[in-house]
Structure 1
Amino acid sequence: MTSSREIAPGLVIQGFTPPLNLKDFKLIAFDMDSTLINIECVDEIADAAGRKAEVAAITEAAMRGEITDYKESLRQRVALLKGVTVAHMQQVYEQRLQLNPGAAELVAACQRAGLKVLLVSGGFTFFTDRIRDRLGIDYTRSNVLEVQDGALTGQMVDQPWGDICDGAEKRRMLLETCTRLGIAPKQAIAMGDGANDLPMMGEAGLSVAYHAKPRVREQAMVAINSGGLDRLLEIVR
């Protein structure tokens, strides 16, 4: 890939010349944790179990790409959540989770331009469903935490499409959504921050790293290193 260049403070591009036209794209796909929202939900749920440091260390290694088996890393983290109540998860949503700066503005701009919006997450439906409803997102894919008697069991529930939404599943969901819409993957934008976002970012016509891990910044066509998600609109108008 061609060398990168900073076109504005904290905004780096490589491989193309801006501006691009937003209406040339038909789909935008977002990662959730630390991309569309400000937290890693699994880490904040773990805080209720007194295990945040332990879980967060695994999350950080997984996002940096230092753990090759993402599914196993997620199973390990979810096992440590056993006993956390649904009420605690609701507190995380209400008290800790915020949309990242520019998230609502970027989603609204894409919707006005006619793009469909996809949210694909290695996180959990408890949160993706709420963000979907809040922003009017069209499609989601994420993991289901098993609940019994109002508390987490430490396991996840298999879904019709598979067991865990990892990098390969994010890629598959992006391609499946493109097929559903009758568009080419090159008509999609994909935004993420961690190593498990790279498979879907590699298929999209425009890949965007948001305050991302070094490996992701290096491979993305756009890296937003400061400011909000809506800085993409400085490049795609």
Structure 2
Amino acid sequence: MPADLEGGPALVVTDVDSTLIQEEVIEELAEHAGTRAEVAALTVRAMNGELDFAQSLRRRVATLAGVPSTVFTEVLEQIRPSPGAQRLVDLVHSLGGHFGVVSGGFEEVVAPLCERMGIDHHVANRLEVAGGVLTGRLLGEIVTSDTKVAKLREWAAMHGVGPERVIAVGDGANDVPMLHSAGLGVAFMAKPAVSAQVPFRLAVQRLDAVSAAWL
């Protein structure tokens, strides 16, 4: 156990898709557009680091044009937290720590999910909606690997803790810089290209297994 984590982390920051939750939200949205197979193929390549994340995201979002904005409620109802996710959030809070999520997914789903799970901080992309339908475009800056690192550091500073008291968890190539920025970075059920770059790995699909780092 890293000595700085004795008694628990001051902050845990996780990715969302395929980490905090079992699904890739953009694939669930694409199901309603009839483009799931195309989007899933692009997602795999992006998460393996074969495609630039921002460019890949724009390509995937473009396929959602015309989908009614009511899709957000439908997808939120389908989302399943990873086994042990809620327990990890509750355990971190019970030790006086804080929990944040950084997502290449979408504010329209991530925000209510975080409220439901009692998560303290979040950042995610936003989808443009006009006339009650998705336009196939994004609003504002895209959440990149650099954004994830910046938010981890911002939240740590907000709570007055150094990176040695932070645990970061993720599964994709765009999570690797964040994992390297934390006191302990954990590759969770990660893609092979990610596991090769991160020394600490979880190969069991229980997010609360992260607590073995301090228990």
Q: Same fold (TM over 0.5)?
A: yes
**Counterparts of 1:188 and 1:87 in 2: how far apart (Å)?**
36
Q: What is the deviation of 1:21?
A: 4.0
**Counterparts of 2:48 and 2:160 in 1: how far apart (Å)?**
33
Aligned residues: 215
TM-score calculated relative to the size of structure 2: 0.95
Partner residue in 1 for 2:75 = 92
SS in 2 for 1:82: coil
**Given that residues 8 and 97 in structure 2 are in contact (C-alpha distance below 8 angstroms), is that contact kept between their aligned partners in structure 1?**
no
**Given that residues 8 and 92 in structure 2 are in contact (C-alpha distance below 8 angstroms), is that contact kept between their aligned partners in structure 1?**
no
Aligned pairs (5 A) from 1:172-187 = 172-187=150-165
Give CA-to-partner distance per residue, 1:171-199, whole Å, 9 cap, x none: 11111112222221121100000001111
TM-score calculated relative to the size of structure 1: 0.86
Q: What is the deviation of 1:227?
A: 3.4
User: Which residue identity is paired with 1:29?
Assistant: V
**Given that residues 9 and 92 in structure 2 are in contact (C-alpha distance below 8 angstroms), is that contact kept between their aligned partners in structure 1?**
no
Unaligned runs of 5+ residues in structure 2 are none
Unaligned runs of 5+ residues in structure 1 are 1-16
**Counterparts of 1:104 and 1:218 in 2: how far apart (Å)?**
28
**Counterparts of 2:29 and 2:149 in 1: how far apart (Å)?**
26
Aligned pairs (5 A) from 1:21-100 = 21=5, 23-67=7-51, 69-94=52-77, 96-100=78-82
Partner residue in 1 for 2:146 = 168
User: Which residue identity is paired with 1:188?
Assistant: V
| Aligned residues: CA RMSD | 1.6
Query: What percent identity do the matched residue pairs reach?
Result: 40
Q: What is the deviation of 1:20?
A: 7.3
SS in 2 for 1:219: coil
**Counterparts of 1:47 and 1:135 in 2: how far apart (Å)?**
25
User: Which residue identity is paired with 1:101?
Assistant: P
User: Which residue identity is paired with 1:126?
Assistant: E
